[in-house]
Amino acid sequence: MKITSIQARAVDMGFQAQKLQTTRVASPMSRFPQFGEKRSSWMWPTKKVFVRIESDDGQVGWSATNGGEIVAMIIEQHLSRLLDGVEVTDISEVWDQMFFSLLPCDRSGFPMMAIAGIDIALWDLKARTEGKSLVDLLGGAKTPDLAVYCTTPQPEAHGGAEWWGIKAAMPFEPSAGDQGLAENVKYIAQFRDVAGKGRVMLDSFMAWDAEYTLRFAEAARDLDVYWIEDPLPPYDLDGLRRIRAEAGSDIRLALGNFCFTRWDCAELMREDLCDLLQPDVAWAGGITEVLRILDMAAEKSVPVILHNTCEQPWALALAAARQTDAVVEFVDRGETSPLYELTGPRARIAGGRVAVPTAGNRPPEHISALFDGESARPSQSRS
């Protein structure tokens, strides 16, 4: 399998228009009043990046990741020239080459999204070349469907569903004071009312600190919150240590959404700071790196729930082939959203379970048309 073309296009798929972006949701920027009311006021480049890789036998592999024009530029202006004409016999070796070439720049965020975009497309290409589905290439599905939890801004719309659990994105950060804390407790109570005795989780998107997390947990003790996700910025290991020391097992921490490599995850597990990991395959270096993360987590007996799984068919394939009794995430973006169908049909969810996809990645026709007639490495990515 020799690579003859690597292309990337950044495309606006309506991410900033979804309710989670246009309503008040706590974030690292909430402490600044001009950015507190909605994430879309400050969010990083949110165009989706579609990646197309063609081999010398005419097969094409596809993927999608995040990071807009920045990630598209890294792929087309840097990573593509490393791999142009390369015979791919070992995708993990290609991954290492991409990673080490970017070390002088960074080893997180946008560079890892770029690596993930190429890596996922290479796995898709390999599956097509071998005439297999990705899930079969990864070892075969342990089950035809997977348990799903739902992240939603509208819990009342999901009360009758048989979700594994429902998760809230918290609206307020510490700068909102006691009133904000009371509003957060009131908000999660709505989820508890809907869920009954089911699991209720929350995501505070790196907006809190250790003191606030401990205060919230005490105030919401009667609501039986199953986990608190990403309460602190990832650099605040001292804060995580404090939560663990003072709360022990009373607070279950879900971390790893902003872990971009196996080393980030290893640091959390080494100190027993997380109860479960939630890496995103399209952010954390792609399939190759997440396979390594899954192996590490299994050795430590740390559960893994892949972030934003139902919009990523490759993530569903990973969960089905490499995890036992896997749980995955569905993000509620409303009745319709192009984000549900980035590289294939919308995931089929029924009875709180999602079917494991067996088809290869394929973006909508209007997206694939952006690549028609283009050279392998155009000088400027299209938006």
Is 228 within 8 Å of 213 (Cβ atoms)? yes
Q: What does the chain come to in residues?
A: 383
| β-strand partners of 2 | 87
Is 360 within 8 Å of 134 (Cβ atoms)? yes
Catalytic residue positions, numbered: 307
Is 347 within 8 Å of 357 (Cβ atoms)? yes
Is 55 within 8 Å of 1 (Cβ atoms)? yes
Is 381 within 8 Å of 8 (Cβ atoms)? yes
Q: How many CA atoms lie within 13 A of 116 on its CB side?
A: 32
Cα–Cα distance measured from residue 163 to residue 104, given in angstroms and rounded to the nearest whole number:
44
On the 0-12 / 13-18 / 19+ scale of CB atoms within 10 A, 82 is middle
Kindly write down the DSSP assignment for every residue of 135-157, as one continuous string.
HHHTT--SSSEEEEEEE-S-GGG
